[in-house]
Structure 1
Amino acid sequence: MTDYEIPRPTSGDVVELILEDHRLFEALLRDLRDATADRAAARAALSAVLIAHGEAEESKVYPNLERKDAITDHEAEHGEEEHAEGNEALLALLECKGTDTQKFDDAVEDLATALNHHIGEEEQTILNPARTEVSEEVRADLGEKWAAERNRLLDADAGSIDNVRKIVAKAHEEGLLPADDEDE
């Protein structure tokens, strides 16, 4: 695994749990920019938690918020598109051989750009409505379901490069990412 301790909550308000992961992403991005940090370990930790977090949101949180009319189909789909963009940027970072190259630094910044945009938007358009339009009881229930799925995915090594490749390929097939025939 990594030298990074990834928190594994099992319950809580889903909004607070998601926000805690967002702060973790930001801390890991700072380490990825720090030449004195263990960048390989930070990359592995970010990959694991980012994939587990996003996949758990898409399967456990977004559909429930849609059913509660807290978010629209469009907001959920947009969130999934942004996860796909972040996953594609993550894959580029995972494919960097070394962690002390300009290619690596550029890949970190591409991922940071995608992630920071998504975090800001998700906190405003998905988490705020969840706070105001969904009961504490439902948020706690969603928190438990999201945390269980996130932990299951962490245990299943969801952040492995092979799994990230599969997730990105699936996003292309589903039209969440634009075709990139010229890259193949």
Structure 2
Amino acid sequence: MAETSIDLGRPVQGDVIELILDDHRRFETLLRDLRDSSSDRDAVRRALATLHTAHAIAEERHVYPRLERKRAISEEEAEHGEHEHAEGHEAMLAVLELKGTDTQAFEDAVEELAKLINHHLTEEELTILNPARDEVGEQARAELGLAFLKERNEQIDAGCGSVQQIRDLVAAARREGLIDDSDEDSDEDE
């Protein structure tokens, strides 16, 4: 089990769109808690890392490919989602690798992480979830919800979100060309 005392939810079924949206609201709550100096920021960052990792892996393995096959989203939209997950992993790693949670460096890293995650949530809801809602039937969304949850929950149970796993995800994303060192310089271009 992941090393977090924070409830990440354990849904067992549902419409994939609603399940993803539920996780998006969890991300927003965890980010708010991460900004709150009175919260247990260390526990919050571990919980956020776990949820972000499990959610991203489940989307990339099940949701994006299925939506592409159903022509609800394009290959480019799926790849863009993967790119944004990779950027999120990279920013998450920066937050996790900091020793303390009461420094300016921590707050700067949290600000960058929040910016990336909030951008991704908005874009995904507009360009992936809305087309899925319009183009994919209820039964298929329920079946996809089961696949998403199975993967998500298995990842959480396996303790995903460790610093090492996120390092490995960032390294793999660099090898695949999803992120590179020049991404930091190109933020103004987007």
Q: TM-score range by the shorter chain?
A: over 0.9
Aligned to 1:119: 121
Aligned to 1:175: 177
1:139 aligns with 2:141: yes
Q: Please give the alpha-carbon distance, in whole angstroms, between the structure 2 residues aligned to 1:159 and 1:84.
A: 13
1:43 aligns with 2:45: yes
Output aligned runs, 1:90-129, within 5 Å.
Answer: 90-129=92-131
Q: Please give the alpha-carbon distance, in whole angstroms, between the structure 1 residues aligned to 2:66 and 2:37.
A: 41
Deviation per residue, 1:119-151 (Å, 9 max, x gap)? 000000000000010000000000000000000
Output aligned runs, 1:19-58, within 5 Å.
Answer: 19-58=21-60
CA RMSD of aligned residues (A): 0.7
State the AA in 2 paired with 1:119. Answer: L
Q: Which of 11, 14, 29 is the matching residue for 1:9?
A: 11
Q: How far did residue 3 of structure 1 move?
A: 2.3
Deviation per residue, 1:93-120 (Å, 9 max, x gap)? 0001001011110110000000000000
SS in 2 for 1:144: helix
Q: Please give the alpha-carbon distance, in whole angstroms, between the structure 2 residues aligned to 1:157 and 1:107.
A: 23
Q: How far did residue 10 of structure 1 move?
A: 1.4
State the AA in 2 paired with 1:55. Answer: I
Q: Please give the alpha-carbon distance, in whole angstroms, between the structure 1 residues aligned to 2:47 and 2:180.
A: 27
Q: Please give the alpha-carbon distance, in whole angstroms, between the structure 2 residues aligned to 1:135 and 1:56.
A: 20
Q: Please give the alpha-carbon distance, in whole angstroms, between the structure 2 residues aligned to 1:10 and 1:109.
A: 32
TM-score normalised per structure 1? 0.96
Aligned to 2:77: 75
Q: Please give the alpha-carbon distance, in whole angstroms, between the structure 2 residues aligned to 1:82 and 1:61.
A: 15
State the AA in 2 paired with 1:135. Answer: G
Deviating beyond 6 angstroms after TM superposition, the runs of 4 or more aligned structure 1 residues are none
Gaps of 5+ in 2: 183-190
Q: How far did residue 157 of structure 1 move?
A: 1.1
Aligned to 1:88: 90
SS in 1 for 2:37: coil
Gaps of 5+ in 1: none
